[in-house]
Amino acid sequence: MSPNSFGALLMMASMASFTLNDTLIKMTDGAVPLGQMLFLRGALSVALILIFARWLGRISFAIGRADWSRIAVRSGAEIGAAYFFISALLNMPIANVTAILQALPLTVAVAAAVFLGEPLGWRRMVAIGVGLVGVLLIVRPGAEGFSVWSLYALGAVACVTVRDLATRRLSVSVPTMTVTLMAAVTITLFFGAVSITEPWVALTPRLSVLIGGAAVLIIGAYWFSVQVMRQGDIGFIAPFRYTGLVFALILGFVVFGDWPDALTLVGAGIVVATGLFTLYRERRVSGR
């Protein structure tokens, strides 16, 4: 399997983990204040990561100053992404907010080409653009559908773009588990401070299970999101972020009873087709 193909699989795994996590968070239906919820999820995630790291023996803090700076930028962007995205998620249908985030393949690929000098051929750029058209068919922004929460989702797009570029600049010697742990610790500390300003609520067994499950899923999401930025070309891998939309459409129907209309299904089909096209092109170019 080529680095690009492996990166595509990692991206799909990352999107599945994030979407399942989002589903559990949305199922809390705003019953837990944002700061408390993200603090509890983060604290449990940190504990589990430390257990996994001890078991696997793949964590190290002997990292150079430049890489610590990149980890700091990445962690800060992770905080912003969590705040903006979950705020939007709790106030919008999961498929809608996820669809807005599908602008990320375009923003990440273009930013990588501009700031990191990575190649971005015209065929890949066209594929990303066509995928974005599919997203617009789903979102159909207008006076009624575009709200302040849509702007929060766009804020998450900006933060994740910065996060992914910072990850791309990390040295290969920096353990993925270390980066995952620092992201979880930073979010836990930040939202722990935020939770002090909010009234805490007692958790029911259902809420405890939802937050606990989200904590487990977010570990996989963090880990995959770090690994995927270390594989292949961003321009090739980025379109596979569109699979998050497919997962969101399925979970939105199964869990929340949101059935997409015909135009939404057409848009989702276009999104999937762009990913398949880039995979086909990569195999043609590599001769596989």
Helix (H, G, I), strand (E, B) or coil at 57: coil
% of the chain at pLDDT higher than 90: 40
CB 268 within 8 A of CB 98: no
d(CA 110, CA 199): 42
Q: Specify whether the CB–CB gap between 242 and 275 falls below 8 A.
A: yes
* Segment 195-213 mean pLDDT: 95
Q: Which residue type occupies 25? A: I
- H/E stretch holding 97 reads helix 94-101
Is residue 25 a contact partner of residue 243, using CB atoms and an 8 Å limit? no
pLDDT > 90? residue 234? no
98's CB contacts (< 8 A; 6+ apart) are: 19, 22, 244, 245, 247, 248
Lowest mean pLDDT among 42-51, 184-193, 276-285: 276-285
Tokens of 284: 């043609």
**For residue 95, which of 275, 247, 277 has the smallest C-alpha distance?**
247
**AA letter at 147:** S
Quick one: average pLDDT of 175-204?
92
What's the pLDDT tens digit per position in 9-20? 998 999 999 999
Q: Any residues with CB less than 8 A from the CB of 147 and at least 6 apart, and which?
A: 91, 92
Predicted local distance difference test score (pLDDT) of residue 19 = 94
Q: How far apart are CA 98 and CA 92, in angstroms?
A: 10
pTM reported for the whole predicted model: 0.82
Measured in Å, how far apart are the chain's first and last C-alpha atoms?
9
Residue 124 has pLDDT above 60, yes or no: yes
Residue among 232, 226, 180, 177 nearest 55 (CA)? 177
Given this model, what pLDDT does residue 88 score?
92
Least confident range from 22-26, 118-122, 133-137, 253-257: namely 118-122
Whether the CA torsion 68, 71, 77, 83 is positive or negative: it is negative
Q: Of residues 176 and 56, which shows the higher confidence score?
A: 176
pLDDT of residue 143: 45
Q: pLDDT higher for 280 or 219?
A: 219
Q: Are 127 and 280 in contact (CB under 8 A)?
A: no
pLDDT at 267: 81
CA nearest to 121, candidates 131, 132, 110: 110
**pLDDT at residue 137 above 60?**
yes
- Count of all residues that appear for the chain in the document: 288
Q: Which H helix or E strand runs over 288? A: none
pLDDT above 80 (res 101): yes
Q: Given this model, what pLDDT does residue 190 score?
A: 96
